[in-house]
């Protein structure tokens, strides 16, 4: 059987949750049945990761004004005009390029911009929207509504996200399926924590509480920093780690690391809290270095990939109780939930888990077995492949 060609579209080449999830899917994809090609909006770490997997990868550079156009800030009228002005020639170029990649069985799009692009370039191919975020408001939301009839299938990374898309676009209802993300279990089970501590000159032997994630405004690093101050007042031997950087291209981002560092210094945490910046290939080592992992998003998290990564690393996780997270974590069983944005509750949870070694071991043990059962990269790939087969038609793999 000739493998059916799938074109993956991703607007960003940075490594956030959507991109890590895409890499995990492609790593586990059955290459006898499917031939993956990727087109990214710019050069970056995702491109390197895909090339390491031997995946043909093209860059269709987004014009700068389109790349900066984002949902999490007010786009000025001038920004809108320049984004619109750059759109037609880009659209013509990428459609011609997509035709040159024919025959494509499927276009699998990740991210709002890619969903729109996919609707435009799909030609005779089927189109699968992989929605990994809540639907946007404003123009982007309206454009998606208009483009929705071009999507042959929609897969959401959580029930929370699926529900929001169904509510916003009722006519997509019957086409939305849910596939929780998967994680490379052996990679996260074998992280080298001691080595990570040495390489980053972190405190050997000290109880280490860490937060791993993009330094985006809604990820709640401020909540973590304020909770760290309270924990330190009670347990002065505790140390804290913030892993990640500000990686988005859209306007409204930037300068966040400095802001957070100033905040930590202002609270007297300079000697007890360290920022590592972005961690790429040693990501599993970063989790392994922790005694306790924290997720503290202040807005509903579409899925919360860091939660399953911590579970796969065998670490107890405290996570904010909203969005996709409660689909993964059962409070007191395989993790600990706290209300989003609640500094006091987070500090108390950290203290409780630091005190109670048995509880930590119980949560981590259960988390590890749950992640094996429900969130392996292989089972995720099988689920997505079944969706491909349903959309494209043909023999189930």
Q: Site residues (CB under 6 A) for ligand UDP?
A: 15-18, 20, 212-214, 243-244, 278-279, 283, 303-306, 309
Min. distance of Cβ 324 from ligand UDP in angstroms?
A: 9
Residues with Cβ within 8 Å of residue 259, at least 6 apart in sequence? none
CB of 105 or CB of 181, closer to ligand UDP: 181
**Dist CA 16 CA 181 (whole Å):** 13
Min. distance of Cβ 214 from ligand UDP in angstroms?
A: 4
Residues with Cβ within 8 Å of residue 146, at least 6 apart in sequence? none
CB atoms within 10 A of CB 252: 14
**Dist CA 76 CA 345 (whole Å):** 38
CB of 105 or CB of 323, closer to ligand UDP: 323
**Under 8 Å between Cβ of 329 and 301:** no
Min. distance of Cβ 18 from ligand UDP in angstroms?
A: 5
CB of 16 or CB of 118, closer to ligand UDP: 16
Min. distance of Cβ 315 from ligand UDP in angstroms?
A: 13
**Dist CA 192 CA 197 (whole Å):** 9
CB of 36 or CB of 191, closer to ligand UDP: 191
**Under 8 Å between Cβ of 393 and 155:** no
Min. distance of Cβ 279 from ligand UDP in angstroms?
A: 4
Min. distance of Cβ 352 from ligand UDP in angstroms?
A: 23
CB of 123 or CB of 217, closer to ligand UDP: 217
SS3 label, residue 308: helix
Residue whose token pair is 């799909």: 122
Q: What is the CA radius of gyration of the chain?
A: 21
CB of 22 or CB of 227, closer to ligand UDP: 22
Q: What is the dihedral of CA 325, 390, 166, 248, to 10 degrees?
A: 50
Residue whose token pair is 């404003």: 138
């Amino acid at each position: 059987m000739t493998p059916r060609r799938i074109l993956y579209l991703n607007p960003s080449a940075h490594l956030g949750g959507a991109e890590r999830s895409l890499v995990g899917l492609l790593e586990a994809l059955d290459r006898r049945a499917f031939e993956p090609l990727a087109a990214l909006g710019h050069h970056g770490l995702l491109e390197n990761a895909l090339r390491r997997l031997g995946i043909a990868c093209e860059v269709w550079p987004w014009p700068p004004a389109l790349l900066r156009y984002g949902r999490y800030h007010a786009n000025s009228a001038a920004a809108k005009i320049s984004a619109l002005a750059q759109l037609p020639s880009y659209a013509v170029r990428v459609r011609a390029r997509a035709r040159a990649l024919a025959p494509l069985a499927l276009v699998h799009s990740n991210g709002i911009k890619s969903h729109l692009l996919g609707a435009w370039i799909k030609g005779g191919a089927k189109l699968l929207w992989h929605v990994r975020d809540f639907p946007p408001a404003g123009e982007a939301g309206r454009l998606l509504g208009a483009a929705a009839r071009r999507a042959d299938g929609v897969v959401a990374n959580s029930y929370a996200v699926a529900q929001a898309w169904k509510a916003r676009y009722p006519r997509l209802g019957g086409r939305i399926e849910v596939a929780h993300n998967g994680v490379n279990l052996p990679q996260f089970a074998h992280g080298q924590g001691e080595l990570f501590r040495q390489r980053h000159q972190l405190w050997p032997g000290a109880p280490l509480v860490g937060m791993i994630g993009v330094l985006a405004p809604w990820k709640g690093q401020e909540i973590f920093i304020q909770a760290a101050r309270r924990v330190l007042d009670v347990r002065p031997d505790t140390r804290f780690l913030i892993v990640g950087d500000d990686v988005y291209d859209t306007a409204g981002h930037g300068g966040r690391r400095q802001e957070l560092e100033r905040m930590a210094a202002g609270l007297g945490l300079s000697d007890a809290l360290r920022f590592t910046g972005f961690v790429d290939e040693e990501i599993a080592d970063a989790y392994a270095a922790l005694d306790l992992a924290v997720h503290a998003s202040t807005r509903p998290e579409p899925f919360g990939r860091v939660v399953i990564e911590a579970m796969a690393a065998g670490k107890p996780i405290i996570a904010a109780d909203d969005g996709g997270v409660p689909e993964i974590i059962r409070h007191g069983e395989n993790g600990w939930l706290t209300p989003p944005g609640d500094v006091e509750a987070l500090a108390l949870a950290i203290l409780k888990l630091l005190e109670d070694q048995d509880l930590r071991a119980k949560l981590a043990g259960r988390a590890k077995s749950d992640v094996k059962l429900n969130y392996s990269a292989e089972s995720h790939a099988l689920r997505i492949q079944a969706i491909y087969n349903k959309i494209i038609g043909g023999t189930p793999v």
